[in-house]
Structure 1
Amino acid sequence: MRSCIRLCLSLAALMALPLAAHADWKPVEQIKPYAISGQSGPELYRSIGENGPKLGIVHAIAHTNFKLTWTRDYQARAGACVLASARPKLIITYTLPSASAPLPPAIQKNWEVFLAGVSAHEKVHGAAIIDMVRKIEAATVGLTVPDDPKCSKIRTEMTRLLSELSQAQRQASRDFDRVELGQGGNLQKLILALVNGG
């Protein structure tokens, strides 16, 4: 199932979870470009507003999306249920603007700076997704629920735990974007530099 949730746990939530080394899986990261047109900074930015990924009623400059599935091994042990292992499969997709035609040299330079900055912003979301998945793994592998020989109660407990983590990351993601797009924020500076640069 495709999700548009950005996973960025708050520092407090991350610190509360146990750390563990999980080097046996790696995420797949891919870029999904969308075409924009224009020969000046204002034209390019206007095209982003018309063609960018739609989030609700507005078009974003860029977006980080992910698909996460798990292979989990639940085991009944002496009447209890234990999550013996959990292996994630994580695909992260960065949707980024791409100029559809060659740009004048001065505009090209400004565009490259803008795109690099936007890409770096989305990479922060990507890194947080990866970190979140590792924290989920660390928090759930070994989870034991007593009196659960059919391994049904443990799924309810995991849903509760993951719901808490999800709510925390959503808020952290919103906070990060608000700072970046706010007065003096990094993304705001990038936008102004592109639009005012020509």
Structure 2
Amino acid sequence: MSLTLAAGTAEAQSWEAIERVEHYKVNGTEPIELYRSIGERGPKISLGRTIAHTSFKLTWQRDYQQQGQACVLATAKPKLIITYTLPKAAQSLPPAVAAKWKAFSDGIVEHEKLHGEFMKDLTQQIQDVSIGLRNENDPGCKKVRAALQAQLKPISDAHVARHGEYDRVEMSPGGAVHQLILTFLNP
């Protein structure tokens, strides 16, 4: 199999992620009430609930072109939709609680937005290895498609590990999210 990434043909194609925010309502007028409501209403992940969640849908428009016996992946245009699911207080809060809620909420948004940046990085990495991918003896463009899939697995595995490590650090004792929770709940 002769597989190459043709120099000069892998020019970046511009794209922008679509970012959406969905809120779920939490009840209470005191920090502990709001936090308990998060535990009852937050996004369900695996067996439990979480404060917030970032998900994504990534689809591609790819143009495989036959060039004699060779096949080249000429374009790869992503459509990335990132959805942030965040808590929102259902009622007006007393001024002191509102200030604490804002700081807590802003910190959670910052955490989730970094997950979104990771997803944008993943998409760009996929595009970078896609455009210009070429196989010299590939009528029907089957080999180049298989070669692309083989290159995507390590990128995907690294992406999953990056998210996991980020959450592990952020949520561990002393981590940024852990500190947000403590600051929010403690008087």
Q: Calculate the TM-score normalised by the size of structure 1.
A: 0.86
Matches of 1:81 and 1:117, distance apart in 2:
47
Matches of 2:180 and 2:65, distance apart in 1:
51
1:111 paired with 2:101, answer yes
Q: 1:46 aligns with which of 20, 36, 47?
A: 36
Q: RMSD of aligned C-alpha atoms?
A: 1.3
Deviation string, structure 1 residues 116-151 (Cα, Å, up to 9, x no partner): 000000010111111111111111100012321101
Q: State the 1:28 CA deviation.
A: 0.8
Q: State the 1:52 CA deviation.
A: 0.6
* Amino acid aligned to 2:183: A
Q: Which runs of 5+ in 1 are unaligned?
A: 1-19
Q: Structure 1 vs Structure 2: percent identity of aligned residues? A: 45
Match of residue 165 from structure 1: 155
Task: Describe the SS at the equivalent of 1:26.
Answer: coil
Q: Calculate the TM-score normalised by the size of structure 2.
A: 0.91
Contact 2:11 2:131 in 1 (8 A): no
Match of residue 79 from structure 2: 89
Instruction: Note the 1:44-83 alignment, pairs <5 A.
Output: 44-83=34-73
* Amino acid aligned to 2:159: Q
Q: Which runs of 5+ in 2 are unaligned?
A: 1-9
Q: Which segment is superposed worse, 145-154 or 28-37?
A: 145-154
Q: State the 1:24 CA deviation.
A: 2.5
* Amino acid aligned to 2:44: K
**Number of positions where the alignment pairs a residue of Structure 1 with one of Structure 2:** 178
1:99 paired with 2:94, answer no
